[in-house]
Structures are given as C-alpha cells and as structure tokens.
Amino acid sequence: MSNKIGMIIKLIPKETESTYIFDRIHAEDINALAVSMLDAFTDTEDFEGETLEDLHEEILSVVVDGFGVFIPEASFQIKQNSDIASVILISMYKGNPFVSELFTTKKYLNLGMASSLLNKSINVLWELGYENLILYVHPRNIGAINLYKKIGFTELEVER
C-alpha cells in the first residue's frame, strides 16, 4: 500500500440515502463480486492487469481467508436489476476497521452508491463502538479522493 494515500475518518453518525437497498455480503457472492470488481477496475488507476481469478482470490482472502478479520456487519452490496452495482468490504487492519474494497461498476457510476455504502458502513461501525475508519487510495484516483474528503476523511500522517 506504499504507493497509495492513507486516509482516516473519526466515526460519527452519517445521513444515509434510503434510495438503495443494502444487502449483506455472503461467501456465495464471491464469484459475482469478482465479476463486478473486474468491470469496475478495468481501465482505471487501480487496475494492475488482474484477471477474474486474481480478483476472486482477492475477495476470497478478504471475506473468508482473513486478510484481516472481516466485518460482515459493516460490509454491503447494492444490486440493481439483479446485478451487483456497488460494493464495500470492511476488515480490521492494524487495529482499525479498514475499507478493503469499495467499487462501483461502470454502468452505475456517479449515482451516489459509493458514498451511500460508505455512510452506511460508517454508521454500523460507529454503532459497533469503533472510533475510526481507514482506507488507502491511488493518488491519481482524484474522483475517489474527492468523495472521501467530502464524506470527512483526511489524509493520514505518513509513517517514517
């Protein structure tokens, strides 16, 4: 994560859009999540040539195999017409909840899904008693950085 910008937010309750239905993440969703993630990342700053199999393994490592302790209560997907449109996966990392994945498929970009998911996860994490949420973002992903700042994230101090 050294080539990424770390960001943090102090958890306080957020307004959430009631526009979307937030579904929990289940192990049987992993294949569909990988397909959606490939769509979301292809031709973006975050794409590093991963195959569908690579992304399947990445999601599996978060949800099942324990990249960190997965927090299913704070991880959600939004479906549109039975397609997975947007996803947030939250795990523990260095003692804090961490946004392991947050993506929206190209067809559903700019509809407020990512911010809705983030706000929903922030509320759940706050209710669970956590104090902060961290994430890492590619420095050229200006749209994501602006979204995170709008929600209230600030850049983490660089560890030296």
Domain interval for residue 31: 5-155
Number of domains in the chain: 1
Note whether residue 114 is domain-resident.
yes
pLDDT tens sequence across 53-91: 999 999 988 888 666 789 999 999 999 998 999 999 999
Write down the pLDDT at residue 145: 95
Judged on CB neighbours under 10 Å (0-12, 13-18, 19+), 68 is middle
**130 alpha carbon, distance to own chain's centre:** 17
Note whether residue 150 is domain-resident.
yes
pLDDT tier, 40 (very low <50, low <70, confident <90, very high otherwise): very high
Cβ pair 148, 141 in contact under 8 A = no
Alpha-carbon gap, residue 90 to 72, rounded angstroms = 7
- Quote the pTM value: 0.92
Write down the pLDDT at residue 27: 83
Write down the pLDDT at residue 19: 86
What tokens were used for 134?
A: 């961290």
Note whether residue 160 is domain-resident.
no
User: What is the domain-level CATH number for residue 73?
Assistant: 3.40.630.30
Tokens 């804090």 sit at which residue? 96
**Minimum mean pLDDT among 61-70, 81-90, 106-115, 124-133: which range?**
61-70
